Structure formats: C-alpha cells, structure tokens
Structure 1
Amino acid sequence: MTRPPTVAQRRLIEAADPVTGRLRGTQAQLDALVKRGLAFRHPRPPHDHFLTPAGHRIRDAEPQAPAVAEGSASADGGFAARVGGEEEAPVLSGAARLREVRSAWQGLLELRRMTNPGGATDRPCGWERTHLVRAAALALEAAGHLPAGPEGDGYRVRATPQPEAVAVYAPDEPALRACTATLEGAGWQAGAYTEPRTRVRYLLASPRRT
C-alpha cells in the first residue's frame, strides 16, 4: 500500500495551480513527488513540474488546513480554527494555542502567496473559498477575537445558503464592527444585516476577488 504524502508534500500538492496543476517548490521536494508518482517533469523548457492524475486525486480530496501544528485537533487531522460554539475545547489552550493559531495564519498567508496571481497575500486563495467557515474563523482568531464557548459570548461563524458567503455573529454591535474590520483587513468583504424574525444582527462575509 502506498504511503500517504507527508504534511509538507500535501501542502505542496494543495498549493498547485488549480487549473494546470503546476507545482512550485524546491528541486528536492519536486523530485520526491515525482518519485511517488504524484508529479511529473515536463519535457520542454522550462521543465516545470505538474500533478499527475494521482496527485490531482489527492488534492481534490478533502484537504487539510494550510498549517498543521502538533496537538491541533480537527476531524481530518489538520489545524482547526475555532468557529465558535464548539462543545469541545481545542487540544491546546493559552499561549500554546496562540502560537498554533499564529503559525496557521502564517501558513495561510504563504498559501496565498504561492497560489494567488502575482503572489498576492491581501486576498483569500482557493483553499479559503472551499473552506469558508474555517477560513473566516482563522482570520478572526488570528486577530485576537475570542470565539464563543458552548454557552458563552464571542464570535460564531456559520455557513449560509449563499455561495461564497458565511454568517458571522457577535455578542454586541461594537464586537460586530470589530469583526468587520478584521475580515476586511484579511481580504474579505463584509456587510451587517438584521435577521427579519429574530432581529439579530450579523455579518455576511465573502472572500474578496480583487
């Protein structure tokens, strides 16, 4: 049975061009993917490396988050930003959790640099657009916002029926405005709305494209 790719190799695979499958990395990293049948070297100059069908299958499966820290907890083994209202606390807490979140955010910025046109880090990348709730939650947690506990106040990020949009709830109007500023600074566009029945205020946020 073929061993699954390492965390570093999976990160490289997930950062491949979403259309062409072109890879970026050191020669040693690319050679390792070729050896495992996950990439091939194009015969024509500049001899770029591209994903094979096997590499595409790995990338198209449910990907891990952009950074994985020891002790992090999520169903797929990757880092899990707190979306608010979780029944279980993360494996790490306090200063260790802060370091884990900071590392995950830096990993996400690197993923943006590697996959966005022109290496832009000021707007979300493809991974974020397919993991909207986790991506928005990471931006909030990395900026120091506190997620809601099972019964406590704090932000909550939830999926919506709208494409490329999440709902963000906060305990009061100042907290909602602070979440707006954070998300806009992280490359999202956000607007405040009121639920017709409950009159609860919330943000509708989506990744900015330009």
Structure 2
Amino acid sequence: MSRPPTAAQRRVIDAADPVTGRLRGTPAQLAALVSRGLAFRHPRPPHDHFLTPAGHRIREAVPEEEAPPPVQPPATGGVFAARVGGEEEPPAAGPARLREVHSAWQGLLELRRMTNPDAAVDRPCGWERTHLVRAAALALEAGGHAPAGADGPGYRVRATPQPDAVAVHEPDEAALRACAETLERAGWQTGEHTEPRTRARYLLASPRRA
C-alpha cells in the first residue's frame, strides 16, 4: 500500500473493535479497505469485515500531529488494555474489570477462529504474534492471575530480545508454575529459566505454531 487511507477510511479503521478488528462502515467504505488490503470480508455469514494485520498497524500508528500532548490526562472509558503488571495506574479491579477481561478473551478466541487457517482456537493467531506482551498478559489475566502493582507481587510480562518470546516474572514459584500452565492451555509454549544475576526464576513464553 503506497497511499495512506483517506480521512473517512481512517475513521472506520480507528473505530474497529480493538481485539477482533471488526469493522463498521458503508459497503463502499468496507470494499475500499478490502481493495487496499486493510480489511477482509469473512467468508461465513454474516460476512462481517475485519482488519488485516496491515489494517491493525494503520490503526495503532498514531501520526505525530494526532498524538495527544504529554500533559493530557488519560481518557476514561477508553480502549481495553490487558494488564502487563507494574502499571503505575492500573484499571480499577472489580466485577466491571472481570467482565471486560472475559469479553476481550472471548473476542480473541473469535479472532483465532476467523484468522487461523484451520479455524483453530487452541493456538495463537497472527495478531497475538505481533502483540506478544499484550496477548500473553490477556491470557494470564483471563486465567485468573493477579498482575503486579507498581511495587507489589504478581505477574509481570515483558518483551525480550527474542522476536517471538516474552518473559513472565512472578516472585512466587508456585504462582509462576501456575502461570506456565495457564499459558500452555492458552496455546503458548513455556520454559522456566534462571536470571544469572539475581537467581530469580522466570518464564520464556512463545506462541505455539502447531
């Protein structure tokens, strides 16, 4: 794709569901996004349209002129974000958060069904492979694990130099093993390692391919 999307197309992309990439727009807008490789029409009824990986990249790339100034406070009621652990201002816990996490996880399973070639929901899809930290954190939070606070115990998911793996830190070894079991049920493969300097145990997790 050489030309950026039009303003109208960008509004449709920006309004896509943050997890599944489901689109809403006029037939002409959706057809134009499909022709540009930014969306695809699902072959099964109701034939909804969804962002392709290229469309997701467009959605997440905020141009500098559209970026909010650093002093602007974060908006309330914004897009769902999985907790990776260690956030200074984590989302409020409680029934509402549980519903959000459950809905996001169900949406991710639907995305797997729609985008994996064999419609498999037991292994990660392309979106998860390009958003490793967020995907692993969602699997853990949906599995009932507690993310770390700014200074407290709990899991922390972090990027690694390996392009296809994340590190999961959890100071409690039993909880760390439970994290490994949850990730493996969610379609990830894990291995336990020891940090040479601190001797702390951690997981390396990567999406399973088969």
What TM-score comes out, normalization by structure 2 length? 0.74
Q: Judge conservation of contact 2:124–2:188 (CA < 8 Å) in 1.
A: yes
Shift of 1:58: 3.2
CA deviation digits over 1:74-115, x for unaligned, max 9? xxxx3210000000121x430000000000000000000000
Structure 2 counterpart of 1:79: 80
2:202 maps to amino acid: Y
Structure 1 counterpart of 2:7: 2
Size of the aligned set, in residue pairs, is 175
Distance 1:144 1:30, change over 3 A: farther
Distance 1:179 1:30, change over 3 A: farther
Residue 11 (str. 1) matches residue 21 (str. 2)? yes
Q: How far apart in 2 are the matches of 1:117 and 1:164?
A: 20
Structure 2 counterpart of 1:88: 89
Q: How far apart in 1 are the matches of 2:188 and 2:181?
A: 9
Percent identity reads 63
Shift of 1:171: 2.0
CA deviation digits over 1:151-210, x for unaligned, max 9? 110000000001210000112110011000000000000010001111010000000000
Shift of 1:38: 1.2
Shift of 1:2: 2.7
Q: Judge conservation of contact 2:105–2:139 (CA < 8 Å) in 1.
A: yes
What TM-score comes out, normalization by structure 1 length? 0.74
1:187 maps to amino acid: G
Q: How far apart in 2 are the matches of 1:82 and 1:133?
A: 10
Q: What's the RMSD between the two structures over aligned residues?
A: 3.0
Give the unaligned 5+ runs of structure 1.
Answer: 14-24, 41-47, 65-70
1:182 maps to amino acid: T
1:97 maps to amino acid: R
Structure 2 counterpart of 1:38: 33
Structure 1 counterpart of 2:123: 123
Structure 2 counterpart of 1:107: 107
Q: What SS does the aligned partner of 1:61 have?
A: helix
1:2 maps to amino acid: A
Residue 58 (str. 1) matches residue 67 (str. 2)? no
Q: How far apart in 2 are the matches of 1:83 and 1:209?
A: 23
Shift of 1:29: 7.5
CA deviation digits over 1:45-100, x for unaligned, max 9? xxx79x9xxx8853332549xxxxxx654xxxx3210000000121x430000000
Q: Judge conservation of contact 2:53–2:127 (CA < 8 Å) in 1.
A: no
Instruction: Name whichever of 3-12 and 103-112 sits farther off.
Output: 3-12
